Amino acid sequence: MFQGRDKIQGNDQNNLTVTALIEKFFDENAKLLLGYAINKVGDVHEAQDLVQETALQALKRSTTFDPRRGSLKTWIFLILDSLAIDWHRSREKRKLSRIVGVEDDGGSWSMGLTAEMGSRLELESVLAWLSNEHREVIKLVVLDGMTSVEAASMLGILPGTARSRLFYALGQLRSEFAARSGLIG
């Protein structure tokens, strides 16, 4: 199945393939991984999906595991962390689409919003109704595609503050959109 480099020579793991080690790790640490995933996403069902995706990704990437760079446990938890970050980003975009009332079709947020408003210039004029603090967060998250955490870092504020500003700014935008054109109900 695997040749040479895929085998790990070690104390208790002589001649086990990386794939076998990954499978063994998941069998022995399922509860630990699930608990960690629940802590990351806050939902048991989402956490189960995250652990399953972690197993798939670990198996797909098995040839990239190098025991000289770190333990298998560390490598698997890094994959889980990466997938959890992706999950949060995806969740944040879905949440924004529900708040603003614009569905994300895989394109950028600015494309969806400008379609609603007619043009980026019209969107800019609506943004002028927001406070500078709200406008900065909206521009970074909605127009530039950053996460609220990235925007917070760029603005030198806490992530919770950025999310709060984003929430209130989107509410104001939604009201403004409805008042100006009746597009959002």
Which of 40, 68, 89 corresponds to the end of one domain? 89
Residue 35's SS3 state is helix
CATH of residue 14: 1.10.1740.10
pLDDT digits (tens, 9 = 90+) for 109-133: 443 444 444 445 556 666 788 899 9
Number of domains in the chain: 2
User: What is the reported pLDDT for 33?
Assistant: 94
For 62, list phi and psi in degrees, rounded to 5: -55, -30
User: What span, in angstroms and rounded, lies between the C-alpha atoms of 17 and 111?
Assistant: 47
- Inside any domain, residue 95: no
Q: Please tell me the pTM assigned to this model.
A: 0.48
Query: What Cα–Cα distance (Å) separates residue 2 from each residue in 5, 15, 59, 132?
Result: 8, 11, 13, 58
**Does 36 map to a domain?**
yes
Query: Which CATH number goes with the domain that contains 139?
Result: 1.10.10.10
Matching residue, tokens 């100006």: 180
At which residue do the structure tokens 């210039």 appear?
Answer: 121
